[in-house]
């Protein structure tokens, strides 16, 4: 296998994004660039200079239909989709569209969870959440701790804490969750998230519940996604939610201000050709 430099990783990611956007256009799926990709589109008209991934989001109904229909509508054998339904070892609550001619090694992941997919773009579902702050916080925290428990299964006993209290707590929780098969835990989380979405439709608030996030106040207003505009991202035109200013302000604050250099980090993706 040959290591793929970052500039070539980006070229492959842009090809994935272009293919994904074409599928969405042809099959009437709603999607938007989100998170760092949305910020990069608005502030840099492309990648944030130190970023190394691409994030898109879809309303839950479109996301579920996309996963269900992908094998039928996919016309490129090198374009692959991984989700909890396609691979029992995949633990994340969101899907990835990846290039099947590549593979990559994730940091801090046990051996059997390595090399499950190649260079990718992340596809997040947008789920409805309670408008009541207390109810929203209860669900978000419960979902966050279940996500962390699932991650323990994948990361193993590499303790991500420096204090002895943190190490002891992590080690205890690791052995408590170990008897539960990862598939059982991921199915439980899917049931929770979809149940939350169905129960709270009409609340006007949505969130990336598939992301490991404990901040119940980091949510979006559904109305900001009702319309979209096309804007340039590198050499492509991508869909941007019309309410991007409020979305980015709620996520990043003064989003046009560059962060300190110490915070300009990336995922350090280690990708290879097959």
pLDDT > 70 fraction of the chain, expressed in percent and rounded: 97
User: pLDDT band for position 161 (50/70/90)?
Assistant: low
Q: Check residue 261 and give its pLDDT.
A: 85
Which pairs from 183-189 meet CB under 8 Å and 24+ separation?
183/88, 185/146, 185/149, 185/150, 185/153, 186/84, 186/91, 186/93, 186/150, 187/84, 188/146, 189/93, 189/143, 189/146, 189/147, 189/150
The whole-chain average pLDDT of the chain stands at: 92
Q: Are 57 and 74 in contact (CB under 8 A)?
A: no
Residue given tokens 């669900």 in the structure block: 139
Place of tokens 């980015």: 248
Confidence of residue 165 (pLDDT cuts 50, 70, 90): confident
Q: What is the 3-state secondary structure (H, E, C) of the chain?
A: CEECCHHHHHHHHHHHHHHHHHHHHHHCCCCEECHHHHHHHHHHCCCCCCCCCCEEEEEHHHHHHHHHHHHHHCCCCCEEEECCCCCCCCCCCCEEEEECCEEEECCCCCHHHCCCCCCEEEEEEEEECCCCHHHHHHHHHHHHHHHHHHHHHHHCCCCCCCCHHHHHHHHHHHHHHCCCCHHHHHHHHHHHHHHHHHHCCCCCEEECCCCCCCCCCCCEEHHHHCCEEEEEECCEEEEEECCHHHHHHHHHCCCCCCCCHHHCCCCCCEEEEC
Q: What confidence tens digit (pLDDT) does each residue in 196-254 have? A: 999 999 999 999 999 989 999 999 999 999 999 999 999 999 999 999 999 999 999 99
Pairing of strands 2-3, 95-99: unpaired
Angle between helices 164-177 and 133-155 (to 10 degrees): 80
Percent of the chain with pLDDT over 90: 74
Q: Any idea where the domains of the chain sit in the sequence? A: 2-273
Supply the pLDDT for residue 59: 98
- The dihedrals phi and psi of 60, each to the nearest 5 degrees, come to -50, -45
| pTM as predicted | 0.93
Pairing of strands 79-82, 102-105: unpaired
Distance of alpha carbon 202 from alpha carbon 113, whole angstroms = 38
As a residue count, the chain comes to: 274
Q: Give the per-residue pLDDT at 105.
A: 84
pLDDT of residue 153: 81
Q: What is the pLDDT of residues 35-86, one digit of tens each?
A: 999 999 999 999 999 998 999 999 999 999 999 999 999 999 999 999 999 9
- Residue 191: the pLDDT is 96
* Residue 162 confidence (pLDDT): 65
Do 115 and 103 contact (CB within 8 A), yes or no?
yes
Identify which of 200, 192, 215 has the alpha carbon closest to the alpha carbon of residue 146. Answer: 192
């Amino acid at each position: 296998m040959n290591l793929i430099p970052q500039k070539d990783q980006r070229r492959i990611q842009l090809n994935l994004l272009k293919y994904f956007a074409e599928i969405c256009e042809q099959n009437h799926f709603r999607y938007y660039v989100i998170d760092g990709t949305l910020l990069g589109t608005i502030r840099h008209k492309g990648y944030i200079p130190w970023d190394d991934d691409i994030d898109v989001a879809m309303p839950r109904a479109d996301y579920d239909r996309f996963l269900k229909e992908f094998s039928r509508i996919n016309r490129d054998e090198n374009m692959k989709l991984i989700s909890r339904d396609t691979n029992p070892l995949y633990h994340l609550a969101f899907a990835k569209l990846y290039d099947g001619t590549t593979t990559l090694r994730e940091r801090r992941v046990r051996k059997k969870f390595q090399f499950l997919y190649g260079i990718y773009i992340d596809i997040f579902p947008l789920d409805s959440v309670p408008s009541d702050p207390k109810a929203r916080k209860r669900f978000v925290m419960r979902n966050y701790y279940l996500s962390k428990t699932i991650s323990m299964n994948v990361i193993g006993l590499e303790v991500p804490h420096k204090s002895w209290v943190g190490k002891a707590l992590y080690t205890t929780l690791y052995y408590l969750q170990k008897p539960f098969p990862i598939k059982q835990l991921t199915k439980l989380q899917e049931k929770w998230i979809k149940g939350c979405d169905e129960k709270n439709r009409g609340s006007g608030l949505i969130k990336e519940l598939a992301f490991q996030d404990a901040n119940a106040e980091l949510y979006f207003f559904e109305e900001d996604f009702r319309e979209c505009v096309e804007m340039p991202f590198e050499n492509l035109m991508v869909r941007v939610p019309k309410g991007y200013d409020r979305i980015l302000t709620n996520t990043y604050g003064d989003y046009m201000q560059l962060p300190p250099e110490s915070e300009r980090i990336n995922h350090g993706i280690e990708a290879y050709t097959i």
